[in-house]
């Protein structure tokens, strides 16, 4: 047989293939960023404004000892940051992944190129992280504008929030690519995201929960992210370095498991 194989180039490195997919998401995003940016800005203004300045003064009147001695505004703002990262991750890793198979079929088109399922997954993940990072930056700006920040340590709340988002994005994307009907996402939003949002020490301290539920809340990923962001925003992190490392390790492991699983689920779904 003639040496047709000699004409083949060496396969590009994986990170460069993933980066190609990311660039293509950027080209697509360039068309729609204006509409997406408004909800990213309005969301945190409404949340932090309403809770910090509407509900906050009422809470503060009854004493802030259980909040750690800070105003409700300072207490709730970093939790809005962390849960916002989760929301962005959920939004970017659910329907867009499903739609890339079923609606605009971006994955199917990409599959015919040198990109492998794992590259397609990682490239999309890079884009999700970019969206999470964008939204977290906006929330931090709102926090700063509303005077909700108590410490210079807050700069570390930013990577902490992005890590929280990543810890949600990777397992959800890994699962979303296997979903056959879109109504499955409704369950996740209703039965996972909403309870996490409400009971992860976001709007009230976990000490308000009954003991059994409190133990459950401690192991949820959003609580880890909220605790981390809050400790940095309030400047209490330095007091508990081991606890902080524990939160980071928890979130990093969850993100890593999602990355590992996604490479497999994407492959199984795309290479049939």
Partner 1 sequence: MLERSEAEVLVRARGLTKTFGSFTAVDGIDFDLYRGEAFGFLGPNGAGKSSTMRMIGCVSPPTGGELSILGRDPVRDGSAIRARLGVVPQEDTLDMELTVRENLLVYGRYFGLPRRVIRERTAALLDFVQLADRAKSKVDPLSGGLKRRLTIARSLINEPEILILDEPTTGLDPQARHVVWDRLFRLKQRGVTLILTTHYMDEAEQLCDRLVVMDHGRFAAEGSPRDLIARYCSPEVLEVRFDPAVHDAAADKLKDFSAERTEVLADRILLYVADGDAVLAAVRASGLEPITSLVRRGTLEDVFLRLTGRRLED
CA distance 175 to 258: 9
Residues 214-253 that bind partner 1 (CB under 8 A): none
**Span of 10-18, 76-84, 207-215, 250-258 interacting with partner 1 by CB under 8 A:** 10-18
**Span of 3-11, 68-76, 200-208, 257-265 interacting with partner 1 by CB under 8 A:** 3-11
Q: Does 197 bind partner 1 (CB under 8 A)?
A: no
Least distance CB 13 / partner 1 (angstroms): 11
Residues 199, 217 contacting (CB under 8 angstroms): yes
Q: Does 17 bind partner 1 (CB under 8 A)?
A: yes
- The correct pick among 28, 213, 249, 256 for binding partner 1 (CB under 8 A) is 28
Structure tokens, 244:
């902080």
Query: Given its phi and psi angles, is residue 63 left (phi above 0), alpha (psi -120 to 50 degrees) or beta?
Result: left
Least distance CB 8 / partner 1 (angstroms): 5
- The correct pick among 51, 77, 82, 115 for binding partner 1 (CB under 8 A) is 115
Residues 142, 38 contacting (CB under 8 angstroms): no
202, HSE (Cβ side, Cα atoms, 13 Å): 23
- The correct pick among 61, 71, 109, 199 for binding partner 1 (CB under 8 A) is 109
CA distance 47 to 94: 23
Residues 78-107 that bind partner 1 (CB under 8 A): 104-106
Least distance CB 33 / partner 1 (angstroms): 12
- The correct pick among 11, 35, 183, 207 for binding partner 1 (CB under 8 A) is 11
How does 127-161 read in b/e, with b if 16+ C-beta sit within 10 Å?
A: bbbbbbbebbebbbebbeebebbbbebbebbbebb
- The correct pick among 15, 51, 116, 186 for binding partner 1 (CB under 8 A) is 116
**What does the angle CA 159 – CA 161 – CA 162 come to, to the nearest 5 degrees?**
65
Which residues of the chain form contacts with partner 1 (CB under 8 A)? 1-5, 7-12, 16-17, 20-21, 23-24, 27-28, 31-32, 104-106, 108-116, 270-272
């Amino acid at each position: 047989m003639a040496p047709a194989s000699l004409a083949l180039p060496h396969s590009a490195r994986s990170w460069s293939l993933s980066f190609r997919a990311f660039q293509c998401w950027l080209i697509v995003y360039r068309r729609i960023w204006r509409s997406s940016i408004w909800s990213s800005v309005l969301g945190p203004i409404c949340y932090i404004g309403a809770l910090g300045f509407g509900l906050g003064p009422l809470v503060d009147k009854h004493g802030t000892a259980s909040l750690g001695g800070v105003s409700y505004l300072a207490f709730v703002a970093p939790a809005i940051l962390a849960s916002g990262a989760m929301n962005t991750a959920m939004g970017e890793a659910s329907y867009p992944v499903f739609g890339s198979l079923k609606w605009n079929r971006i994955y199917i088109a990409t599959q015919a190129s040198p990109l492998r399922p794992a590259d397609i997954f990682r490239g999309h993940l890079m884009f999700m992280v970019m969206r999470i990072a964008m939204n977290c930056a906006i929330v931090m700006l709102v926090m700063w504008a509303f005077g909700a920040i108590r410490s210079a340590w807050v700069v570390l709340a930013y990577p902490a929030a992005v890590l929280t988002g990543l810890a949600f994005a990777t397992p959800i994307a890994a699962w979303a690519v296997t979903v056959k009907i879109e109504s499955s996402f409704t369950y996740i939003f209703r039965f996972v995201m909403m309870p996490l949002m409400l009971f992860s020490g976001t709007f009230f301290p976990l000490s308000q929960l009954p003991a059994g539920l409190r133990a459950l809340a401690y192991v949820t990923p959003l609580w880890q992210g909220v605790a981390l962001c809050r400790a940095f925003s309030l400047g209490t992190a330095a007091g508990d370095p081991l606890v902080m490392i524990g939160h980071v390790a928890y979130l990093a492991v969850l993100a890593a498991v999602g990355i590992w699983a996604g490479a497999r689920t994407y492959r199984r779904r795309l290479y049939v």
